[in-house]
Structure 1
């Protein structure tokens, strides 16, 4: 995890003093840092305080690792130093301040991105309990983000809500990700959201979240496809026309007219498979597939007096019924798996136990 040395890293400047009486220098940042690769900060901390605050630091600093064994070689000229090149200095400052109860080094308020970075770091070192006094304000900040269109920040909200045990916020973000995730255009089954491959995002939520997103997405696309397939099949073997007024065109003419329109529209499309539509082959997101189908149905001509038979109107009504925002499928108790809800409950209990 870390890299140890007894070298005095004066190039990084004087250590930021988290604890003036500390016995350990943590050298944070560097090549492994994604956000601040050129920023290395040294923190003077107390190893015993870290041992109490973090099981991970306890094992790292007092276990059978290099970071622990070099302690015996430390001296005033060459203090005990541990390098953490993969961590970001900014959130690390806050985490160390909380661990040592040194609130002077803690900058506030925290925006959503800062909260995300803090939670990722705290999860890494098993220090989530330090945020117990702040969970209410953290949830409020995260929930203030207005989730409308697909955006990479929605993934930030998704993880923050998960880490804080906020089922309502998690379900809201999850709904957006489910509806706007598509398959990549390289012939694989990798999910893409807002131009980002979800498999490349390390902190989203529970370990099986990607599989669950794919499962829910597939079930919705199957409902969409079934609506169109069933409408097409019924017109082929019977009649869907519901117009009773005989002054207009007969039912069979209505059905034949619409069947011809469906055939022309879907055979001309390179993006949507022809009937029967197999949801497994749909690369679109749920939202994208819905809009693509409407674009195909919109130009179709309808016989006078038969607007009610128009497949576009029927498809829109069906989709609204299964994806409307107030629909029960999006409620936290329905959308979130029971196993995930149990894990989120434990997260809340971790925070509540410390307060």
Structure 2
């Protein structure tokens, strides 16, 4: 089998053969065993014979200081190895969400997350600027923020995923990593919000269907009087909802649109009224048009979508900060 040789250290004493599962021509890196063991507890157990613990199957063969790494792709492994061997000029200044996701997956696998810290702020800065991100890309960014301990960016991404996700929320490819419980949380809140948005219009229709058993919606209604005002509003409302694919009004569980897509449809509903009547010009039924009422009610629902914290996630970020503090303390003591 042919392979490309790359030297990371002139005095390297360990070889890593990477890309066996992804290429016919894997790359063999000459690396420093001490740099590997200092940066990664997983590599330390590989090199010094301790049990691998919860990381089975990372090595398939070890022979004459050659470690075969089957499952990891070349690009993220190259970046990690360049970092721990101080080849900083070869570390990419910017990464796409897919590239950073792959890098974080590998860094987490080998317990090398701390090696990424000098670059994480720069790499993640661009993630939230793409307004055209797919649901899969936002999900990847969410997991990146989770693993890198970026609390504020995580909650912004979680809110965006909540409002932009279409049903089903967990429709991303199998194997895509997500923070524990977050998909269920987003799915539950998505259903609640969609139900609240639809309920605004359901209640409006009930108000328009009142006969005389309670106060009517029409501002100029008279006892046993005509229902032309409500009929005009109801007709234009149901017409627009039908055109939007929302008539009859569905239950939230049957809505495939994202919250944002549903919000856009509901905000563009056009409602007509009968205006001034010829029999009494003083009565202007424009006052009865529920357009403003519905718009404000929809906005109130959207404003209830949280920007804030999720209790279980806050615990994770606090634990992450504590772990970093302990590692920094240990590093200072060793020096």
TM-score by length of 2: 0.77
Alignment of 1:1-355 (within 5 A): 11-14=2-5, 16-31=6-21, 33=22, 37=23, 40-61=26-47, 62-63=49-50, 71=62, 74=63, 79-100=64-85, 102-104=86-88, 106-113=90-97, 114-143=99-128, 145-147=129-131, 153-183=137-167, 190-191=168-169, 197-200=171-174, 202-203=176-177, 205-237=178-210, 238-239=214-215, 241=217, 243=219, 252-266=227-241, 268=242, 271-275=245-249, 277-294=250-267, 297-298=269-270, 300-304=271-275, 305-323=284-302, 327=303, 329-333=305-309, 337-354=310-327
1: distance between equivalents of 2:199 and 2:147? Answer: 36
Higher relative contact order (CA 8 A, sep 6+): 1
**In 1, Cα distance between the equivalents of 2:131 and 2:326?**
31
Report the CA distance between 1:68 and its aligned residue: 7.4
Q: Return the alpha-carbon distance in structure 1 between the equivalents of residues 317 and 43 of structure 2.
A: 24
Superposition RMSD in Å: 3.4
Structure number with bigger Rg: 2
Q: CA deviation at 1:123?
A: 1.4
SS class of match (1:218): helix
Q: Distance in 2 between matches of 1:244 and 1:270?
A: 30
Cα displacement (A) at 1:159: 2.6
The whole-number CA distance in structure 2 between the counterparts of 1:251 and 1:39 is 83
Deviation readout 1:189-244 (Å, 9 max, x if unpaired):
x337xxxx3253613x3122211121121111011011111111222234563635
Q: Which runs of 5+ in 1 are unaligned?
A: 1-8, 184-189
**Distance in 1 (alpha carbons) for counterparts of 2:186 and 2:261:** 16
Q: Single out whichever of 119-128 and 102-111 deviates more from structure 2.
A: 102-111
